[in-house]
Amino acid sequence: MEQALKGIKVLDLTRVLAGPYCTMILADMGADVIKVEAPIKGDDSRQFGPYVNGESAYFMSINRNKRSITMNLKNPEAKKEFFKLIKSVDVVTENFKPGTMEKLGLGYDVLKEINPQIIYAATSGFGHTGPYSARPAYDGVVQAMGGIMSITGQKGGKPTRVGPSVGDIMAGMFTAIGILGALHYRTEHGIGQKIDVSMLDCQVAVLENAISRYMATGVSPKPEGNRHASIVPFEPFDTSDGEIMIAVGNDSIWQKFCTQIQREDLISDTLFATNPLRSENYEHLRPILGDIIKTKTTSEWQAIFDANGIPNGPINNIESVVNDPQVNHREMIVEMDHPIANKIKIPGVPIKMSVTQGTVHKASPILGEDTADILKTMNGLTDSEIENLKKIGAI
């Protein structure tokens, strides 16, 4: 099967998560992603556990489908080879602190002189402009500063960090979207451009209704626990043997829900007939529904709600997720053959495409495993020239 980004070459200087997540998306869709890593050490995440036969499971999960070349970009000879690569690639990505690439003599203004069609994508904590630009950042920092922690956690409790590193992941996704947009523009107009994505910007962009609620009321939203701040009922309920998540997203579903819990009287009740009324009278409604849902098991309620189009689901732990029949039918857990870790399982490709489906076709690279091949095929170097670069510490 053809892939959407077949023929696109990406020179990937990113490390840890935001940048590698972006380039993983591109690689899944067929781009040739060449991961540039420091000799000996490589990407910092190679040192993040847990390990399988000495290989980082963390690194392997977000660097599939890529090739690895080692380069000491402070070495003049390595820079020469890097500039040669720039001539033949479409995209260069980096997630250093702003100014780092410029100090190395590798900033966008330099690279676009070598290749005017280059798309330069920079992901950073606060972006390349503004009063915070020079500050370092990690996921926890931007989750804190971006407001998402202030609306996460139990009601009355302290702000809570979201489990997955959404500060990094969202920035990676937005950077990938920016690259795809820039590739289309280049096709139409023949020129590249710089993409500047801030992790903090991305956190603000995904706050959803929290900002609109503040703008409408002047009151900063606070954590609501597991309930939705604007839709009722939309939260987990205790069953006789566990919990079930119920999401009554509109008044039509409310009517079906009331029928299935055998409380049709609630449909026309003046306290609960509409979502605004249910939100206003939440404290009165919640115990009524809580007592009803406790009368059956989770699976019994699931069967009833599924048969009647009422959104619901169990609260799965990770073991349940990776063994879920829907997740596996959609090939969201895939097995890779790694040369050192052997067979490992990682998340699959979530974007399903009818003609150009993305695939997991290659395990994450061993540090520098493709260095010689890339320098030979793309830069035309000989074995002896490559060996000399190794001797002087350039690669």
What are the catalytic residues?
168
Q: How many other C-beta atoms lie within 10 A of the C-beta of residue 48?
A: 14
DSSP calls for 310-344: --EE----HHHHHT-HHHHHTT-EEEEEETTTEEE
Torsion sign over Cα 284, 285, 287, 291? positive
Spatial distance between the Cα atoms of 319 and 254, rounded to a whole number of angstroms: 32
| CA within 13 Å, CB half, 350 | 4
Q: What distance lies between CA 366 and its chain's CA centroid?
A: 23
b/e code 53-64 from CB counts within 10 Å (16+ = b) = eebbbbbbbbbb
Q: How do strand 91-94 and strand 9-12 relate by DSSP bridges?
A: parallel
Identity of residue 124:
S
Residue 346: its H or E element = strand 342-347
Spatial distance between the Cα atoms of 21 and 61, rounded to a whole number of angstroms: 9
- Of 90, 96, 115, 118, give the one whose Cα is nearest residue 32: 90
Q: How do strand 32-37 and strand 333-338 relate by DSSP bridges?
A: unpaired
Phi, psi dihedrals of residue 239, rounded to the nearest 5°: -105, -175
Spatial distance between the Cα atoms of 52 and 60, rounded to a whole number of angstroms: 10
Spatial distance between the Cα atoms of 134 and 146, rounded to a whole number of angstroms: 17
DSSP H helices in the chain: 18-28, 57-62, 76-88, 100-103, 108-114, 139-145, 166-189, 199-205, 209-217, 251-260, 275-280, 282-293, 298-307, 318-322, 325-329, 371-377, 383-391
Spatial distance between the Cα atoms of 247 and 187, rounded to a whole number of angstroms: 43
Does the bond joining 233 to the residue before it have cis omega, within 30 degrees of 0?
yes
